[in-house]
Chains A and B, each alone.
Chain A
Amino acid sequence: MRAAEAPAARPNPAGRHLCFAYADLDEFLTRARAFLADGRAAGAQVRLVGDGLPDLDGVRAESLPDVYDVIDPAAQVDYWAGALADALAAGHSGLQVVGEVTPLVRSAAFGDYEHLIDRFIAQHPISGLCGYDRRVVDPAVLAELACLHPWHNVPEVPFRVHAAAGTGDLAISGELDVTGAAALVRALDRVSPALVEGELFVEASGLDFVDHRSLLQLASYARGRGATAVLRTPLPAAARLVDLLQVPGLRVEAR
């Protein structure tokens, strides 16, 4: 992937990738203003992208079509890699972007892009706040997209499938139970994590709960790819359930 060659990784490169769903535009703009202020304070270049948005504290809103052409996930990540390189070259510490991306949800490839940019953000000094208008986006679609961010505010999907900061490895955080079961399956299919010698490592230090259904789903996904899922989590419940269920395709590393 060309994006990975762009700016060299720095000692503390990981950015933040947030999903903010709102039902009131002012609520989103307040959050966006704070996010841009954080970036400015950290010496990052700041950008604001979204149709029909007002300028925020002197940051001019760029229109979506100017930044996101047709959604080609890899090309779009390359675009941000180039923008980051330019920002660093100009002496900024990184890049901090607010995007009101609701209109992009129509593209089936947008979810792939969200995950690809998440992996890039996890290893580079670029941060993004993605705004979604709850009044417009189908709730199931919103859940699917929200859970691809390391942080989101969508209670219907109580977990996150994201890239681990620094390494970019697959991480799962939050609570996995029946509430998010359908979204978990789709997220795993979407991110299609890499296998290492037949094992699929899941960094789960941020996992707060996992029930037996989710463990069975993870095992079933791994088996479908001819692999064993390795859940790295200190949660005693995970180790105990795996021991009880004796599920092929899954083991827990307590750490």
Chain B
Amino acid sequence: MTRSGAAAEHVGYFHEAVYYDSDDELLAVVLPFLVGGVDEKEPTVVSFGPEKADLVRRALPAAARGGVSFLTGGSVYARPAAAIRAYRELLAGHVADGAGQIRIVGEIPRPSLGATWNWWARYEAAINQAYDEFPLWSLCAYDTRITPSAVLGDVARTHPRTLHADGQHSLSPSYAAPASFLSAWPPVALDPLQEGPPLITLVSPTAAEARHAVRAVDPGLPLDEIEELVIAVSEVVTNALRHGVPPVLVRYWSGFDRVVVAVTDGGSGPTDPFAGLLPSRDSATGGLGLWITHQSCNYVAFSRDESSFTLRLTAGNPF
């Protein structure tokens, strides 16, 4: 099975960032990428929000349109661990069907470049490993007009390559190996709710006590969101009690649109830099519980200081 285009000689995941500041610039990069994929009969996928997807669909030559599949609606990019799971299933399916290469162009939706960027940065780093078993060539598009500069810095550190509007490919000088990027533990901004006192503080509770307290602070979020947070709190508290260093402190805040739970223990957190993002079958180390947690919350943030490790979980609208 052969690969085509810039990734022709590459083994594994060929991960490129694309920076654009106009629709024309975006199309200048994306159209040749897609048409090339269709010409080579490679599975060719666009994973954009509805507006950008329309833009691309209208601009594609008629002959290529039928060969491109569109994943729209934003559900793929709802949560990083869910995106990894969905893409890995998609990729495995294409490889099983005999694909020599899969091409995907995608864009993380704008809201994720704000409050929840931290876990999307972890996503961009982790997929260098998570997709490396597949012959994937992907472009990750970033609109420089709306992307904060700190986010652009992370994009450069997590994408080994850049594809420019003139068609040139270059290596990213600031690229960091995923394990090293993920182990750097940059500080995470507090949710403003955390500036007030917690509604409930539990010290080394059982998992059941920690679960029941979620319902006590629920401001009336949709039942599914609360149920998912209950699953996550149970997993995180179980992990902290088993693998962390006591005491385990569990604090709860709620606002009109969200619930925030912070679980702190005296340990240093998971040793696996990919914890939570990559599928794990290992229940013994807490890896599977952390992965389920990432599938069950609208935001998960890790933070670490000299004496403790904190996992913060958010249901509702992350701030």
Contact = CB atoms under 8 A, between A and B. Distances in A.
B288 A158 contact: no
Interface string A231-252: 0000111001100100000000
B288 to A, nearest CB: 6
B227 A237 contact: yes
A179 B283 contact: no
A178 B295 contact: no
B230 interface: yes
A211 B238 CA distance: 10
B283 A212 contact: yes
Contact of B207 (A177, A212, A216): A177
A179 B231 contact: no
B158 interface: no
B208 A244 contact: no
A178 B292 contact: no
A236 B226 CA distance: 11
A244 B295 CA distance: 8
Nearest to B239: A178
A68 interface: no
Nearest to B85: A244
B218 interface: no
A209 B211 contact: yes
B227 A211 contact: no
Contact of B231 (A158, A175, A211, A216): A211
B246 to A, nearest CB: 16
B295 A212 contact: no
B49 interface: no
A241 B231 CA distance: 9
B230 A178 contact: no
B228 A240 contact: yes
Interface in A164-185: 175, 177-179
Contact of A236 (B223, B234, B235, B242): B223
Contacts of B224: 236
A177 B238 contact: yes
Contacts of B69: none
Contacts of A237: 227-228, 230-231
Given A211-B231, A236-B227, A179 B208 contact: yes
Given A177-B234, A244-B292, A213 B228 contact: no
Interface in A185-213: 209, 211-213
B208 A212 contact: no
B230 A212 contact: no
Interface string A62-103: 000000000000000000000000000000000000000000
B313 to A, nearest CB: 15
A179 B296 CA distance: 21
Interface string B199-233: 00000001110010000000000011001101100
Contacts of A178: 207, 238, 242
The binding surface of chain B is classed by DSSP as: helix
Interface in B283-311: 283, 288-289, 292, 295-296
Interface in B257-289: 283, 288-289
A241 B235 CA distance: 12
A178 B206 CA distance: 10
A240 B296 CA distance: 9
B208 to A, nearest CB: 6
A236 B222 CA distance: 12
Contacts of A244: 85, 292, 295
B292 A241 contact: yes
A209 B230 CA distance: 9
B238 A216 contact: no
B206 A179 contact: yes
A216 B283 contact: yes
A211 B288 CA distance: 11
A179 B241 CA distance: 11
A235 B231 CA distance: 12
Nearest to A177: B207
B67 to A, nearest CB: 30
Contacts of A213: 283
Interface of B: 85, 206-208, 211, 223-224, 227-228, 230-231, 234-235, 238, 242, 283, 288-289, 292, 295-296
Interface of A: 158, 175, 177-179, 209, 211-213, 216, 235-237, 240-241, 244
Question: Top 7 closest A-B pairs, CB basis?
Answer: A177-B207, A237-B227, A178-B238, A236-B227, A237-B231, A211-B234, A175-B208
11 contacts: A177-B208, A212-B292, A216-B283, A235-B227, A236-B224, A236-B227, A240-B296, A241-B231, A241-B292, A244-B292, A244-B295
Given A212-B283, A244-B292, 8 more contacts: A178-B242, A209-B208, A211-B207, A212-B289, A235-B227, A240-B296, A241-B231, A241-B292
